[in-house]
Structure formats: structure tokens, C-alpha cells
Structure 1
């Protein structure tokens, strides 16, 4: 299957569209730069076969083996800390681009996820935990690819505002 769009959709909207069009029972994605070592692919898929609803690689666990620029690592640690503190997540890395899902579990969450850009993964993971889905986070080997569409200043502000948006929404749940 090939999906194409003439307009830029944002990362979250593109993933949402692709997952809705997919037919498999185990769905997943990996970053196009293959920053996460593919030796973890079997573990990613097996986690869903073993009964988890969601599986995600983590660059933040003590056993993870990660090489990345200091400023990116610092911003990521701060973001993940705020996500745990304000949104009650039990995960340590919400943004690793190495995730798999049980189809029915994922499709049950997609309509609730409002973000259409970089915060999409985080919102999905937080909502999965709040809904009682089983989420497995496991350490990975990860290498910074060098090219990125992440703009630290713009995206830190944007993703920080999304943490507050979701926190505020949860206040009224």
C-alpha cells in the first residue's frame, strides 16, 4: 500500500492516516533515519505478540546505548520529566521513533489524540496508559542520524504547550 499527500500533514496526522489505512494486526513505525538499531525489531514485534498493547523503544533507560548531541539529550530529558510529572506517565522516553501497537488497541485511541505533529506519540502513549492498556518500554541502541526536522527552540515551546493542553484537558476528565 502506498499513501501520498500533496500537502504537508504533520507527523502525527500522517501516522494517524497510515495506521487507519493499515490492515495488519500488529502495527508499528520506525524513524526513517534508522537511528534505532534494527536488531531490536524482533523485540518490538514480539512484545505485542506477548500480549502488550503498545511497545516502545527507549533511549532513556539505564541499559540504553545512545549517542546524541548534548543539547538534544538535555531537551529530551526535560520534556520527558515534565510529561511524567504533569501527565502521570510512567515512561521515560515518549519520543523514540520505534513503536508497535496491537491494532484494536491503537484504533481505539486514535480518535482521542488531538495533536497532529511531534507531540502525537506522547499523547498516544499517555492516553494508552490512562486507558489501562499495557505498555512495554525497553532499552535500545540509538545513534543520532545527523539530519533532523526538529527545531529545538520552536519544538520545545510547541511541545511544552501541548503538555499543558493535555494536562488542562485531564483536569476536566
Structure 2
């Protein structure tokens, strides 16, 4: 009997070790295959000819979508992803369009377009968007309908790839960031472009690019990092714990440089957007982190700019969202780290 009692634990240990090994290998195979499928899908999307279009509710005609590879036709494009935002979107759009119209009236070279990307909403978001197209005409206001929910990252990617601006700004549908703060990002981008001109003024390429803002690669990220102490004081302890943990994982994934990767207020020159959004693979929560990662890998200068931000009721971030974010951060490390995801320059 004594022999059996000694052998049994060893047998159980071997069995458990074998099961753990099988589970680990299964998880590894699943992740590898999942990453490979994302890579294959991305390759198909890059090579596919776009058949997207904007619907004009005034003329009932379909307007072909432009491409990020086309020359710029506007000074600035504003891309707004919207999923079930029928209540918050109108107020944000009115404030944004009032600002854009005022700048356009005082400066004729300030041409703009607003692109709302409806991410498969089940409410009246699409109807709200078309009401603004009727009021402001399709040259200045456009709606892209994704048909089914694909994620904020994918909505922004589609908007960026079909925009016409020299500068491209992504912003949230809730209007949490003050729209006039785009001037802060705009100013920093101009300063960065001037530095690039001075650094490379002797080269023939730069001489050709001196007057062309859209050909320089610069990214400016709105940041709420300066509000962190206030946020820590008002949030529940477990939310602070989750956020601190998430920021640590982001730091390990994308590296130092940008303190607030998740602020939904980011501006890109056309050349930077072309490189970044033809490479982005994540479609949901952590595409922002992937953008920071890609900027570093592609050598695109990044500037972090403090912006005015206020919390608007109706946030869609839940505990399950944090779990999904952590999974996507793992995908970034594995996808690029193992060379499964190629970066196209």
C-alpha cells in the first residue's frame, strides 16, 4: 500500500504536467493562427480596390470615396467614429461645425470636411448623420456606413483612408475634447515640419517638399495626462488600479514617449496617416497603442499635446473592455515581435 501512495502523486503530477503542456501548445497554436489570419486579411485589404462610396441624400447620387493616396483637396479632414451615438453626436457636431465655419469665413484657405463613420449603429445615428449632410452639403460633410459593427479602430481607419485633408484629425463623437484645441495640435505639427525642413534643407527631396505640408510625416496626440491627479482623486479605487495596470502594460508594449495613448483626439499629416492607417491591423480598443508602436517603427515624429477634456456620460468602456484591451496588447507584441505582421513603408 505504501508503494501505491508514493507512485500516485507522481502519476498525477505527470498527468497534470502533460495537460498543462497540451493546453499551452493549444493556446500558442490558436494565437499563431489568429495572428496569421489577421495578417492575411490585412494583406487582402491593402491590395483590394475600394468600391466604397458616400450617399448624397440631396441628389440621391453615390459619390465615390477618395483615397489617402490621392493628392489633398482640403486643408483638414475630421474623422468621427460613431456607434449608437444619436443622442451625443448632434451637440458635438454643431459645436464642431460652428467652429469650422467661423475659421473658414475668416480664412478662405481653411477648407474642411467632416466624415462621420457609422460603425453599424442600431439606433438613429445614421439618420442624424444624413441630416447634417443635407444641411452642410456632401462636399463638407460625409457619412460612411460600415453596415455592421467592426470597432472604433476600423471606423477611424476607413475614415482616414477615404479623406481629402492635408491634416487629418480623429475625434470622438461625444465632444469630450474642446474642438478649438485642434489649433494646439495644428501648431505643434507646423513647428515639427519647420524643424524637418531646416534639418534637411540641403537635400533635393526636401527642396521639393518645402511648400507641401501633406508630404511630411508628423503625428500629434492630444493628451489628458495633465489631468491624471484630478482623475485619480475622483475615480473609484478599483478603476484607478485597472488604469494603472493598463498603463504599465501599454508601456511594456509600445515603450515610453506617449503618456496618454487612449485620448481620442489625434492629428496626422496626410503622409503620416497614409503610412499608419495602411498598416494598422487592430480594429477595436488598442489601435491607438498600435499607432504609437508603428510611429516608432516607421520613424514618424510624435508630439504629445495637453488638451481640454471633460467626461461625458455614456462611456462604452466596461470591465470586459479592459480584458479585450489586454488581449489586443498581447497581439501587438506577438504579431510584430514574431514578424507575423509585416510593416509596409
Instruction: State the TM-score, normalized to the length of structure 1.
Output: 0.87
Q: 2:254 aligns with which of 70, 78, 87?
A: 87
Counterpart Cα distance in 2 of 1:102 and 1:22: 12
1:158 aligns with: 324
* Structure 2: segments with no counterpart, 5+ residues: 1-141, 194-216, 340-345
User: Could you give the per-residue CA deviations for residues 96-144 of structure 1, whole angstroms, max 9, x where no partner exists?
Assistant: 0110001111111223211001111111122112211100002223211
8 A contact 1:25–1:103 mirrored in 2: yes
8 A contact 1:91–1:137 mirrored in 2: yes
SS in 1 for 2:335: helix
The structure in which a higher percent of residues are helix is: 2
C-alpha displacement of 1:95: 0.5
1:19 aligns with: 160
8 A contact 1:64–1:141 mirrored in 2: no
User: Which has the greater radius of gyration?
Assistant: 2
> Aligned pair 1:47/2:188, yes or no?
yes
8 A contact 1:66–1:142 mirrored in 2: no
2:39 aligns with: none
Instruction: State the TM-score, normalized to the length of structure 2.
Output: 0.46
SS in 1 for 2:221: strand
2:278 aligns with: 111
Specify which structure has the bigger relative contact order, considering alpha-carbon pairs within 8 angstroms and separated by 6 or more residues: 1
* Structure 1: segments with no counterpart, 5+ residues: none
The number of residue pairs the alignment matches comes to 171
Counterpart Cα distance in 1 of 2:306 and 2:228: 5
